[in-house]
Amino acid sequence: MVRRTRSLNLPAHVGLICGAVLVLTISASVSRAESPAPSTASATNGELQDVTQPLSIRMSDGTSEETPNFQRHITPLLGRLGCNGRACHGSFQGRGDFQLSLFGYDFRADHAALLDPDTGRVDTDDVAESLILAKPTDADMHEGGKRLEEGSWQYNTLRNWIAAGAKFDNQNVDELDRLEIQPSEIQFQNESQSVALTAIAHWADGTREDVTDLCRFTTNDDAIAVIDENGLVSAGETGDTHVVIAYDRAVVPVPVIRRVVATDPNPSPTPSEHRIDQLIEVKLDKLGITPSGLCDDSDFIRRASLDITGTLPAAADVRAFLADTRSDKRERLIDELLDSPGYAAWWATRLADWTGNSDEQLNNALPIRGSASRLWYEWLRVRLEDNLPYDQIVEGIVMADNREEDESYLQYCESMTQACRPGNESQFAERSGMPLYWARRNFQKPEERAIGFAYSFLGIRIECAQCHKHPFDQWSKDDFDQFAMLFKSIEARPNTVARDSKADRDELISKITGEEKLRNGDLRRKIYKAAAQGETVPFPELVYNDSAIQSLKRRAKAKAKKNPKAAPLSIPEGFILGQSEPVALDRDPRGELMNWLRQKDNPYFAKAIVNRVWANYFGIGIIDPTDDMNLANAPSNAELLDELASGFIHSGYDLKWLSREIATSDAYQRSMDTNASNEHDDHNFARHVPRRLPAEVIHDAVLLATQSSEEADRMRDEMEQMAIANGVTQNRNNRNFALQVFGQSERESNCDCDRSDSPSLLQSIYLRNDFEMYRQLGSKDGWVTQTMKSLGIESGDAGVDAQVLRRAEQFQNQTIAKIKRYKKMAPKQRRANQDRIRDEYKRVREKLSQYGFDSPKLSDLLDDPSAWELTRVESDQQPEPGTSMEQVVNDAYLRTLSRFPDADERETSLQFIAESDSPKVGIESLMWALVNTKEFIITH
């Protein structure tokens, strides 16, 4: 049995289906053999009166003269008997000089292997002596043991096929239209129940057959549902999973639910009108799970800031948010975070992970070392900052060309030479395409591109089909090969240029080398040196090399002139996954690939990114793992995924809409507090499941917590030192130690598994004992040093007032920059963005009002944004009294855990500081202790 378990993966110290459901109450003692033989597929379905009975009935007594079909009966029967499994003849080397295709989906090869005349496996003249009958019935003779009884229906099926000539029409493979499973959903009430599944094959020729006896059955979690080889599902623990049925090319998951019966039921929260919550509630009602209530404001601002921007909220922002009494303050906060620099930085890093932005693999992609990864990241960041639709971002990658329209090769090289200089990455971001995706060293073979493309934009793993039929999906080796053909002629190597660019490239090289004949490493070093000195150097281009096809066309045309009756030219073709129409390869197929991605009925494109974004906010995808959307790995809530993907498409592929839709739901805002019904559930979104923060987020959180308020605000604004901005060094070959130990994505492939959230001892050692931690705590620019200075001020609130002023200035500067950018837009573009700039200014004005500052009218700012001076609003309210050290303790908690300490925590902290060798030592130790709490490195 296959068991898929889900775990929290915390560090060691961190203690809709809509419609009617058929409720089945069949005793566990009832087996399929004891049930009456069905003459139709289901007694509840009056339409299926012409379904052929299963082979176990038709072949039971040995009197049938029916000739079984090789594809429909013999091959799946060999699979049920285990003959074509990994441990037997389906292994890569086969067994006993006999090899079958794994899981039996290469019908032609398997038929040829069975009928090899020198082996005696199939003897149509002496049927009983055929080895495929004689050996499996004799345990001594067969290394794999006894697999069937002589006279059994399985034996009779194989015998009748051999007796009829062991035929297979390999020119006409039958097409399976669909595999229907009855019931389509199982809901158990207690552990004593079981249900027998029935599988009906619907073939394209209109015939229907009960093939239950020929299917392979597995379960995704045998603790919840066990399924035997005959399709009998037995209840286990409470919860939900899927059992999976495979036959021919079909793989069908069937949901299984065993309802939770809570001994101490909690009152249900007020029903939400949010569509996400309604769809989740349907599933929770089936499971008998009561969702937790909403989290408090301190948890929410921390959670939303970390998930949306990858950034720990500033203490001043936490204070203002907790003091805000407006009913819609959470929605306002979400909008502010989506417009902050951290949003674009963090999500550009996530997209860089998913698309494979690896400095190591881009080592020779450009003639200026260390620039490619920076350019890739900035190209993504700018588009996310401008909220360019996701499909357009992907189009810029998939359809990328190096040169802009009407740009010559020399102009392209001049532009790229400038863009590759540190600090000039924005020049590359202005270019329409990002061809570096195709230029990685591990992305040059067609097979590598097929696998990587499927990971990046489809969220599926198809590498299994490179060698054999995918065990849990519909893809065969032929499907993989045909898909890989689409990428065969795309060339993006360090020396590749278009035909019309070769002369210009050679001229540039001659200038650099002084016409000295240099090659390989010597030439690269010369080019690197020239670029460092500011000279224009030659850059590679991405080209579609169809020279071989054009040559074929020319020869075919010449042949046709000589012989008009000659066979027409056969143009090489490829196939997009799941599509029946071929793609002719006499032109660049990327346009058809992009058109397919955009089709509203595309089963992968929108769902893949929706699922990944959802996982960022919940720690687990609706489909998990997020890049393994195979048929057997069914969504935990299919209707929810469908609805979100449809809404995402309808929004115009708006990534901010998607994040806002998720973050405004009750499901996202739930407390981590559990109740009796949801304490063991971790994938139906009935509560917040704590999870460790990603590597980059932890790294930055330590810096933001320990640096001075002024330095932390600068980091949030500029992003240059932030690991969420593609890593601290921007170089994955020389990664920061903290990022390594906390599992930063290595980007060796496009697989989500390149990032790790597994706990390790090194993570605890880093936070507790690493020199970097102590250096940050004791830094002259750190918060502790800043706090010591503020302790000399008579009013303990003076330091806080300075923090508020800095935050207000930060909002002011960001707004001025956006207004200046808006004023530079063309009139048409300004009209399209006028509502957006008005809304953004309104949010900033309200935020500044919270901080006690007045703001000018937007119309005045549009006239002269630089004339804006912050003006403090006079207030009669006096600050609450308190001691300086109490304020220090409060601030320590706010900047690390985004909450005020409770009375016991405050008292303990004050006492500890008072008993320390000095206030500085006490405050450093307090901050060290807070950074080492589980609250700091996990979401809550």
- Give tens-digit pLDDT for 824-875: 777 777 777 787 788 778 778 877 776 677 888 888 888 888 878 877 665 4
CA dihedral (895, 900, 902, 905) in degrees, to 10, reads 20
Cα separation, 752 vs 627, in Å, equals 6
Distance from C-alpha of 44 to C-alpha of 180, rounded to nearest angstrom: 14
Integer CA distances (angstroms), 442 to 347, 358, 439, 734, in order: 24, 10, 9, 19
Distance from C-alpha of 217 to C-alpha of 227, rounded to nearest angstrom: 7
For 472, list phi and psi in degrees, rounded to 5.
-120, 15
Q: What share of the chain is helix, strand, coil (3-state, %, to 5)?
A: 45, 10, 45
DSSP at 470: -
Q: How many CB atoms lie within 10 A of CB 563?
A: 8
What three-state secondary structure class fits 764?
helix
Whole-number Å distance between alpha carbons of 767 and 340: 28
Q: Rounded to 5 degrees, what are φ and ψ at 251?
A: -135, 120
Peptide bond into 367 cis (omega under 30): no
Chain mean position to CA 772: 32
Contact (CB, 8 A) for 312 and 935: no
Task: Check if the beta carbon of residue 130 is closer than 8 Å to that of residue 123.
Answer: yes
Query: Mind listing the pLDDT tens digit for each residue in 247-303?
Result: 988 999 999 999 998 766 677 788 899 999 999 999 999 999 999 999 999 999 999
- Give the tens place of pLDDT for each residue, 514-544: 888 887 778 888 888 888 888 999 999 999 9
Beta bridge partners, 186, equal: 256
In whole angstroms, give the CA distance from residue 924 to residue 921: 5
| Secondary structure in 3-state letters for 599-656 | CCCCCCHHHHHHHHHHHHHHCCCCCCCCCCCCCCCCCCCHHHHHHHHHHHHHCCCCHH
From CA 29, how far away is CA 9, in angstroms rounded?
Answer: 38
Q: What is this structure's pTM?
A: 0.83
Q: Residue 49 CB: number of other CB atoms within 10 A?
A: 10
DSSP state of 178: E
CA-CA-CA-CA torsion sign (804, 806, 807, 809): positive
Check residue 617 and give its pLDDT.
97
Mean pLDDT per 10-residue segment, the chain (940 residues): 34 32 30 32 49 92 90 88 69 65 76 80 86 75 73 90 87 87 94 94 94 94 94 95 92 94 76 95 94 96 97 95 95 96 96 91 87 94 96 96 93 94 92 94 91 93 76 80 91 89 92 84 85 90 84 71 71 88 91 95 96 96 92 94 97 97 98 93 96 91 91 89 76 64 76 76 74 74 83 44 67 81 78 79 76 79 81 53 75 96 94 89 91 92
Residue with tokens 């929108």: 606
